[in-house]
Amino acid sequence: MRPILFEIGELTFYSYTATFTLAFVVAALLADRHNRRLPRPYPVTTMGGIWAFIGGTVGAKLYWVIQYGTWEDWAWFSFLLNGGMVFLGGFLGGIAAVVLYLRWVGAPILPVADLVSPYLALAHGIARIGCFLNGCCWGSLTNAPWGVCYPRSGWGAYRQQLDKGLISSKELQSLPVHPVQLYETIFLWILFGLLWWAYSRRKRHGDIFLGYLVLYGLGRFLLETMRGDQPRHILGLTATQMVCMVMVAAGLAAWAWLPRQSVSEASPGEIPREPHDADNSGTELNAGE
pLDDT number for residue 70:
65
Q: How far is it, in rounded angstroms, from Cα 106 to Cα 33? A: 19
The pLDDT mean for the chain works out to: 85
17-73 pLDDT, tens digit per residue, is 899 899 999 999 999 999 999 999 999 999 998 999 899 888 888 877 776 666 666
Say if CB 38 and CB 271 are below 8 A apart.
no
113-142 pLDDT, tens digit per residue, is 999 999 999 999 999 999 999 999 999 999
pLDDT band at 272 (very low <50, low <70, confident <90, very high): very low
Averaged pLDDT for residues 216-225: 96
Q: How far is it, in rounded angstroms, from Cα 30 to Cα 38? A: 13
Residue 146: pLDDT over 60: yes
Residue 144: pLDDT over 90: yes
Q: Where are the domains of the chain?
A: 141-177
Q: How far is it, in rounded angstroms, from Cα 118 to Cα 122? A: 6
Residue 288: pLDDT over 90: no
pLDDT band at 154 (very low <50, low <70, confident <90, very high): confident
Count Cα neighbours of 65 within 13 Å in the Cβ-side half-sphere. 18
User: 180-199 and 207-223 helices cross at what angle (nearest 10)?
Assistant: 160
Between 22 and 270, where is the model more confident?
22
Query: What is the four-CA torsion angle of 67, 72, 78, 79, rounded to 10 degrees?
Result: -10
Least confident of 50-54, 184-188, 223-227: 50-54
Residue 185: pLDDT over 90: yes
Residue 177: pLDDT over 80: yes
pLDDT band at 287 (very low <50, low <70, confident <90, very high): very low
